[in-house]
Amino acid sequence: MNIQLLAQFVVIFAAFFLLVNMSAVLVLAERKVMGFMQQRYGPYLVGPHGMLQTAADAIKLLFKEAIFPAAADKFLFTLAPCLVVLGAFLSFVVIPFGSRLQTADLNVGVFYVVAVSSLSTVGLIMAGWASNNKYALFGAMRSAAQIVSYEIPAVMSLVVVVMMVGSLSLKDIVDAQQGGLPYWLLWRYFPLNVILFLVFFTASLAECNRAPFDIPEAESELVAGFHTEYSGFFFAMFFMAEYTEMVVISAVASVLFLGGYYAPIPALQSLGPVGLGPFWLLGKALFLVFVMMWLRWTLPRLRVDQLMHVAWKVLLPISMTLVVLVGFLILRWPHGFVLDRYVGWPIVIALFVALIVGATRARVWHRQRLKQIAA
């Protein structure tokens, strides 16, 4: 029992240390990605290739004075960023990094992730109300409306996964994907799982206020939104929570749809749970984080009416239809549509080639557009 408690403590400490430092690394990575996509240098002065710029920004924020508005509720004003960070960190308790590398394998793991992620909504509303600033409160209410709206299709997507696996445990969901990425996404009710993944990922983008769904932080409209009155370390906590939520969402999406700690190719499956499980999961999660950054610096921000239209009239009907359709398919074909591997792998290769060609064409079009603007 003592060894088990020690192992759990080590996993918790490693996950906490990784998340705190990964937030700083992701800030630097996003600025580099932004510079690359916009044909700029990005950070390059502080440290070699600008690698110490984020560390310098963190030290600056730590030593800046925390200013409290005169009419603010200081207790709630201080508690709000703590709740937001806590909601982001608690989700990692049930994330399986390997077959035997998990802090707690709860039989209600999916429900736990949904529950603790809702703490961030409470923190955002608390931050806007405690600031005693009408603009901050307005931003907090818009943020809460957005998160609650997009949480419904995201949860409906989780329901479909639970229906297919028959368990709320995240480890059981990962073990159901031992056949590799082609089996889960392509050979089991293809193409419904692909649509399901896109619905969940899109809704998750809106839940963590990432572009093009970053209405709550629209500087031109809300003067920075719910954290208008925050400065110094408290502002840094909101910033850290946003990037931590990106990692959490990417890790959960990897567990639910991309095989988690298993290798994406069946030939490498024996390496996954043995020693490379955490690296497989981390690699998939970081790839999804890159996609989030890619979307931020590619797509324009949506208006409020457009944002709600996507949630209630696009994603919600699709997710509800998937629940009914997959439920019928599970009753009729409980093991899925098992396609022949000679048919499945060409589909995988075709999708990969289409992704590369589309990304290349998008970059060429972006360069041509920049030249037209400059001319």
Within this chain, do residues 289 and 352 fall inside the same structural domain, yes or no? no
Contact 102, 96 (CB under 8 A): yes
pLDDT > 90 in the chain, percent: 17
Compute mean pLDDT per 10 residues along the chain, 375 residues long, and list them: 67 71 84 84 84 86 85 90 88 84 84 89 91 86 88 92 89 82 64 86 88 71 75 86 89 89 72 66 91 86 85 91 87 64 59 72 73 72
| Residue 8, pLDDT score | 65
In a domain, 151, yes or no: yes
Within this chain, do residues 300 and 266 fall inside the same structural domain, yes or no? yes
Within this chain, do residues 330 and 374 fall inside the same structural domain, yes or no? no
What is the per-residue pLDDT across 71-115, written as a single tens digit (0 to 9) for each?
888 899 999 999 988 888 888 888 888 877 787 888 888 999 999
Phi-psi map region of 101: left, alpha, beta (phi>0 left; psi -120 to 50 alpha): beta
Within this chain, do residues 291 and 260 fall inside the same structural domain, yes or no? yes
| Residue 200, pLDDT score | 94
Within this chain, do residues 301 and 188 fall inside the same structural domain, yes or no? yes
In a domain, 5, yes or no: no
Q: Is the peptide bond before 191 cis (omega within 30 degrees of 0)?
A: yes
**Domain boundaries, position 350:** 343-375
Q: Compute the Cα dihedral for 282, 288, 292, 297 and give only its sign.
A: positive
Helix 2-37 to helix 232-257 angle, to the nearest 10 degrees? 100
| Residue 186, pLDDT score | 57
| Residue 340, pLDDT score | 47
In a domain, 173, yes or no: yes
Whole-Å CA distances, 105 to 51, 123, 162, 169, 312: 37, 27, 15, 7, 33
Within this chain, do residues 228 and 135 fall inside the same structural domain, yes or no? yes
Which residue has tokens 């056949």? 179
Within this chain, do residues 281 and 359 fall inside the same structural domain, yes or no? no
As a three-state string, the secondary structure of the chain is: CHHHHHHHHHHHHHHHHHHHHHHHHHHHHHHHHHHHHCCCCCCCCCCHHHCCHHHHHHHHHHHCCCCCCCCCCHHHHHHHHHHHHHHHHHHHHCCCCECCECCCCCCCHHHHHHHHHCHHHHHHHHHHHHCCCHHHHHHHHHHHHHHHHHHHHHHHHHHHHHHHHCCCCHHHHHHCCCCCHHHHHCCCCCCHHHHHHHHHHHHHHHHCCCCCCCHHHCHHHHCCHHHCCCCHHHHHHHHHHHHHHHHHHHHHHHHHHCCCCCCCCHHHHHHHHHHHHHHHHHHHHHHHHHHHHHHHCCCCCCCHHHHHHHHHHHHHHHHHHHHHHHHHHHHHCCCCCCCCHHHHHHHHHHHHHHHHHHHHHHHHHHHHHHHHHHC
In a domain, 58, yes or no: no
| Residue 105, pLDDT score | 83
In a domain, 236, yes or no: yes
Q: Tokens for 174?
A: 């990962």
In a domain, 1, yes or no: no
Q: How far apart are CA 35 and CA 40, in angstroms?
A: 4
Q: How far apart are CA 298 and CA 296, in angstroms?
A: 6
Average per-residue pLDDT for the chain: 81
In a domain, 18, yes or no: no
Within this chain, do residues 307 and 347 fall inside the same structural domain, yes or no? no
Within this chain, do residues 335 and 360 fall inside the same structural domain, yes or no? no
| Residue 220, pLDDT score | 55
What is the per-residue pLDDT across 216-249, written as a single tens digit (0 to 9) for each?
666 556 566 788 888 888 888 888 888 888 998 9
The amino acid occupying position 280 is W
Contact 212, 295 (CB under 8 A): yes
Within this chain, do residues 170 and 277 fall inside the same structural domain, yes or no? yes
| Residue 225, pLDDT score | 77
Within this chain, do residues 140 and 194 fall inside the same structural domain, yes or no? yes
Q: Is the pTM of this model over 0.85?
A: no
Count of the separate structural domains present in the chain: 2
Q: How far apart are CA 202 and CA 197, in angstroms?
A: 8
In a domain, 46, yes or no: no
Q: How far apart are CA 314 and CA 319, in angstroms?
A: 9
Within this chain, do residues 79 and 221 fall inside the same structural domain, yes or no? yes
Q: How far apart are CA 140 and CA 206, in angstroms?
A: 14
